[in-house]
A and B are shown apart, each in its own frame.
Chain A
Amino acid sequence: MADVTTAASTQQGSDGSAPLERNEHKGSPARPVRVIVGAVGMAVTAWFVCNAFLAFAYYPHWFLNSGILIGVLGLVIGIGGSLVFFYFLNLCIEGFPTRFAEGLIPYAFLLPGFSLIAIFLLYPTVQTIVYSFANDDSTDWVGLDNYTAIFGSGAFWSALLNNFLWILIVPVVTVAFGLAVAVLADKLSPSGEKTAKSLIFLPMAISFVGAATIWGLVYAYNSPGDSQTGLLNAIVTALGGDPQPWYQIESGRLNSLVLMVILIWLQTGFAMVLLSSAIKGVPEDTVEAGRMDGASELRIFWQVIFPQVRTTLIAVLITVLILVLKVFDIIYVTTNGLYNSDVIANLFFRKLFTDQQAGQASAVVVVLLLMVIPILIYQVKSFRAQEANR
C-alpha cells in the first residue's frame, strides 16, 4: 500500500491537535436515565437481531423457505439493527459525564468491528494452533504427531515445493505484465488506452472457478489424430507438434506452470490499475527533462519512471504474493492436486473436508500461518514508515 496514498494524505498535519479543543465549556454531569435507556436499548437490539438471525437458520419455513425473503429481511434487520445499536450505544455513553464519555466513545465505536475480528479471526487462529496438537476430531491431545505425520509425508513437501514455485513465479510475472501494459497503454490514444485497459482488467471480475472453466477450453486435450478442441493443442498440432495433456505433465512441474498462467491472467489487470495510476503520478517535467537530454524512451523509463513507481510495484508484488500463498480454487477444480500439482491450501482442504483429519489439517494451516509471518512483519513495517511520512 506504501506510497500509493501519499497524494491524498497531506492535510493530516492538524490531526494531532484536534482533540485538544474539548468542549469543556459545555461539559455536562451524569444523566443516569440516558445510561440506562441506552444500555437497555443496546441489549434489546442485540437480543432481537441475534434471535432473528438464528430464526432464519433454525426455522426457514417461517419465512416460506424463501431465500429472497430471508435475504431481504437479513439486510433490513442487519443494517437497521446495527444502526439502532450504535444509536443506543451513543445515547448510553452520552449519559456519562462529558469528560468520561469523550474518552469512552472511540472504544465504543471500535467495539463491534473488533468483536467480529476477534470472533472470526483471532480466536480461531489460536484455536487452530491448539487443534494442531489434537487428534482428528479434536477430543484428545496427540503432541507433535500431526506435525510428524505431515512433515513425514512426500505429498506435503511436494505441495510446499509447488507453493514456492507459485510464489517465485506468479507475483513477478503478474507485476511485469501489469507494468508493461500500464506503460504501453499510457502511450496510446485516450480511447485506445481505455479499451485496452478495460479488456485486461475484465478478468478481475471472474471467479477462479469461472477462470478454470475458461482455461479448460484452452488446455483441452484429445487423443492424437482426433480433432483438437483445445486452443493450445490446436496451435501445437497446427505447428506440427503432438497434442499434450497439459494438466498431467509432471516433468519440470510444467502442469503447475500451466495453472499459474490462469492466475496471472486474472491478476494482471489489478497490477496494471495500480501501476498505471502510479505512472500517471510521475511528474511530467522529470520525464521532459530526460527527453531534453536526448535520452531514449527506454532509458527514461528505467532511470526516471521506474524509480518513482518502485514503492507501488513492491506493494502490488506483496498483495499478489499474499493471494498466491492461499491459492486454492484453481487447483481444486482442475487437477485437485493430482500429478504432483498440489499446493498447501488444497492439501489443507483435502485433509479437512475429504479425509476428515482436523488435526493434520490444522498443522498444515499452521505451516501456512508461519509462511505469512515474514510478510506480516513487512506489512506492519511499511505501514509504519508510510504513517511517519504523513
Chain B
Amino acid sequence: MNGTMKDGRKRSLVATITMPLLALLWTVPTIGLLVTSFRSREAAASTGWWSSLWEGGWTFDNYATVLGDPSISGSLINSIVVAVPATVLPIMFAAFAAYAFTFIEFRGKDVLFIAIVAVMVVPIQVSFQPMLDLLGPRGLGINGQFVAVWMLHTGFGMPLAVYTLRNYMSTLPNSVVESAKIDGASHFQTFWRLVAPMASPAIAAFATLQFLWVWNDLLIAKLFLGGGDNKTIIVSLQQMLGTQGQGAELLTAGAFISMVIPMLVFFGLQRFLVRGMTAGSVKG
C-alpha cells in the first residue's frame, strides 16, 4: 500500500480505498440491469438479480423476443433515422455562423453572440405548444414524421452548436485565415477548405453531445413522433416501463439494447467529447 508509484508520486491510501468503492457503487446498478436482462420473468420476480450470479439459469430468450418484435426492432431503426440527421444537420448551419462570429468583424457581433449565450438557457418546453400548432394539423401537418423531429432538434441544437464551434474556432490561429484572404480566397472557400477541417475536433465533440441528446430524448420524440410506427427506442422503452406481468422481462433487455449504440458512440468519441466539453461547451 505504502511506497511510490512508477511516476514517483506517493500512493494515497484514501484514494486507493475510496475510488474502487465509488467506481463499484456507480457500476453495480448497471450490472444489475445487464444480469436481469439474461433472466426469465419468473426468476426475476422471485429472487434478486445477484442470486443468479451463483445460481445460474441464464437465458437469451429476452433478447431473442425483443429483437424479434418488429415494433421494438423497428423503433431501434427509427432512433437511428432520427438521430443521425438531427446530429449532422445543425453542424452545417452552425459552422457558418461560428465562422462569421470568429473571423469576421461586423456591427452587432457582440449583441448577436450574447443572444446565443442567452438562448442556450431557455427551456425548450417554451416552444412545444407553438410548435405543435405549426407542425401539427393546424399548420404544416408533418407532426409524427421524422422530418418534424429533425427540424426541431436542428433548431434546439443550434445555440449549443454555434457556441461550441465558435469557442473552438477562436483558438485557431488567425494568420491562417488572413493568408487565405490575401491569396484571394472567398470566405466560402476559406471556410470550406481551411476552417471546417481544422475545427473537426469541436465538430466531433458537438456531434457526440447532440447524438446522445437526440438518441436519449423522450420529450420531443413522444410529443412529435408519438407512440406509433415512427416511435423511437426510448419511447418503446417508456411504454415497456408501464408493463406488469406478461412481457415485463423484456424491459431489461430492451433497456440494454437502447443503451448499446449511444455507449459505442460515447466511448468511440469520448476523447473529442472531453476536449469539446472542457473548451466550454455545455448543453443549456
**B-binding residues in A (CB < 8 A):** 1-2, 4-5, 8-9, 11-12, 14-16, 18-19, 21, 23, 26, 53-54, 56-58, 60, 67-68, 70-71, 74-75, 78-79, 82-83, 86-87, 90, 94, 103, 105-107, 109-110, 112-114, 116-117, 119-125, 127-128, 131, 138, 180-181, 184-185, 187-190, 192, 195-196, 198-210, 212-218, 227-231, 234, 265, 268, 270, 273-274, 277, 297, 315, 319, 322-323, 325-326, 328-329, 332-333, 345, 348-349, 352-353, 358, 361-362, 365, 368-369, 372, 375-376, 379-380, 383-384
Question: Given the complex of chains A and B, what is the CA–CA distance between A231 and B20 in angstroms?
Answer: 19
Give the A-B contact count at a CB cut-off of 8 A.
387
The smallest C-beta distance from B133 to any residue of chain A, in angstroms, reads 7
The smallest C-beta distance from A355 to any residue of chain B, in angstroms, reads 13
A128 to chain B: which residues have CB within 8 Å? 126-127, 129-130
Q: Which of B90-133 contact A (CB under 8 A)?
A: 90, 92-94, 96-97, 99-101, 103-106, 109, 112, 114-131, 133
Say which residue of A58, A78, A187 sits within 8 Å of B89 (CB atoms): A78
Please name the residue on chain A nearest to B188 by beta carbon: A90
Contact B218 A9 (CB under 8 A): no
A120 to chain B: which residues have CB within 8 Å? 127, 131, 151-152, 154-156, 158
The smallest C-beta distance from B244 to any residue of chain A, in angstroms, reads 12
Contact A117 B119 (CB under 8 A): yes
Q: Which of B138-183 contact A (CB under 8 A)?
A: 140-142, 145-148, 150-152, 154-156, 158-159, 162, 167, 170-171, 173-174, 177-178, 181-182
A189 to chain B: which residues have CB within 8 Å? 5-6
A180 to chain B: which residues have CB within 8 Å? 18, 22
Question: Given the complex of chains A and B, what is the CA–CA distance between A71 and B237 in angstroms?
Answer: 22
The yes or no answer to B67 lying at the interface (CB within 8 A) is no
Question: Given the complex of chains A and B, what is the CA–CA distance between A297 and B14 in angstroms?
Answer: 11
B7-45 Cβ-contact flags toward A at 8 Å (1 or 0): 101011011101110110011111011001000000011
The smallest C-beta distance from B121 to any residue of chain A, in angstroms, reads 5
Say which residue of B26, B84, B122 sits within 8 Å of A372 (CB atoms): B122
Say which residue of A138, A210, A328, A349 sits within 8 Å of B216 (CB atoms): A210
The smallest C-beta distance from A69 to any residue of chain B, in angstroms, reads 9
Tier of interface size on chain B: 35 or more
Contact A82 B93 (CB under 8 A): yes
7 further A-B contacts with Cβ under 8 Å, apart from A11-B171, A216-B241, are: A110-B96, A120-B127, A120-B156, A180-B22, A185-B19, A207-B259, A229-B44
Question: Given the complex of chains A and B, what is the CA–CA distance between A218 and B270 in angstroms?
Answer: 28
Question: Given the complex of chains A and B, what is the CA–CA distance between A13 and B30 in angstroms?
Answer: 48
Say which residue of A195, A333, A348 sits within 8 Å of B125 (CB atoms): A348
Contact B29 A372 (CB under 8 A): no
Question: Given the complex of chains A and B, what is the CA–CA distance between A143 and B178 in angstroms?
Answer: 57
The smallest C-beta distance from B146 to any residue of chain A, in angstroms, reads 6
The yes or no answer to B284 lying at the interface (CB within 8 A) is yes
Say which residue of A18, A94, A209, A362 sits within 8 Å of B234 (CB atoms): A209
Say which residue of A1, A131, A213, A328 sits within 8 Å of B241 (CB atoms): A213
Please name the residue on chain B nearest to A269 by beta carbon: B26
The yes or no answer to B204 lying at the interface (CB within 8 A) is no
The yes or no answer to B59 lying at the interface (CB within 8 A) is no
The smallest C-beta distance from A352 to any residue of chain B, in angstroms, reads 6
A268 to chain B: which residues have CB within 8 Å? 26
Contact B148 A57 (CB under 8 A): yes
Question: Given the complex of chains A and B, what is the CA–CA distance between A328 and B251 in angstroms?
Answer: 20
Please name the residue on chain A nearest to B263 by beta carbon: A205
Contact A56 B145 (CB under 8 A): yes
Contact A231 B112 (CB under 8 A): no
Q: What would 7 A/B residue contacts be, using CB atoms closer than 8 Å?
A: A15-B105, A26-B184, A71-B82, A131-B129, A205-B267, A326-B123, A333-B241
A345 to chain B: which residues have CB within 8 Å? 123, 125
A75 to chain B: which residues have CB within 8 Å? 84-85, 88-89
Contact B218 A208 (CB under 8 A): yes
Say which residue of B14, B74, B117, B184 sits within 8 Å of A383 (CB atoms): B117
Contact B174 A113 (CB under 8 A): no
A195 to chain B: which residues have CB within 8 Å? 23
Please name the residue on chain A nearest to B155 by beta carbon: A120
Looking at B12, B188, B258, the one whose CB has the most chain A CB atoms below 10 A away is B188
Contact B188 A86 (CB under 8 A): yes
Contact A230 B238 (CB under 8 A): no
Question: Given the complex of chains A and B, what is the CA–CA distance between A128 and B133 in angstroms?
Answer: 11
Contact A326 B125 (CB under 8 A): yes
Contact A365 B126 (CB under 8 A): yes
Please name the residue on chain B nearest to A226 by beta carbon: B46
Question: Given the complex of chains A and B, what is the CA–CA distance between A116 and B94 in angstroms?
Answer: 10
The yes or no answer to B219 lying at the interface (CB within 8 A) is yes
The yes or no answer to B200 lying at the interface (CB within 8 A) is no
Question: Given the complex of chains A and B, what is the CA–CA distance between A127 and B212 in angstroms?
Answer: 29
The yes or no answer to B206 lying at the interface (CB within 8 A) is no
Please name the residue on chain B nearest to A88 by beta carbon: B188
Please name the residue on chain B nearest to A359 by beta carbon: B129
Contact B170 A9 (CB under 8 A): yes
Contact B237 A213 (CB under 8 A): yes
Contact A376 B121 (CB under 8 A): yes
Contact A109 B49 (CB under 8 A): no
Contact A114 B97 (CB under 8 A): yes
A217 to chain B: which residues have CB within 8 Å? 29, 32-33, 36, 49, 252
Contact B126 A125 (CB under 8 A): yes
The smallest C-beta distance from A112 to any residue of chain B, in angstroms, reads 5
Question: Given the complex of chains A and B, what is the CA–CA distance between A94 and B190 in angstroms?
Answer: 14
Contact B78 A67 (CB under 8 A): yes
Looking at A14, A202, A361, the one whose CB has the most chain B CB atoms below 10 A away is A202
A319 to chain B: which residues have CB within 8 Å? 282-284
B194-225 Cβ-contact flags toward A at 8 Å (1 or 0): 00000000000000000010011111001100
Contact A273 B92 (CB under 8 A): no
Please name the residue on chain A nearest to B78 by beta carbon: A67
| List of 9 A-B pairs having minimum Cβ-Cβ separation, nearest first | A120-B155, A124-B127, A207-B216, A71-B81, A57-B145, A57-B142, A205-B266, A113-B97, A90-B188
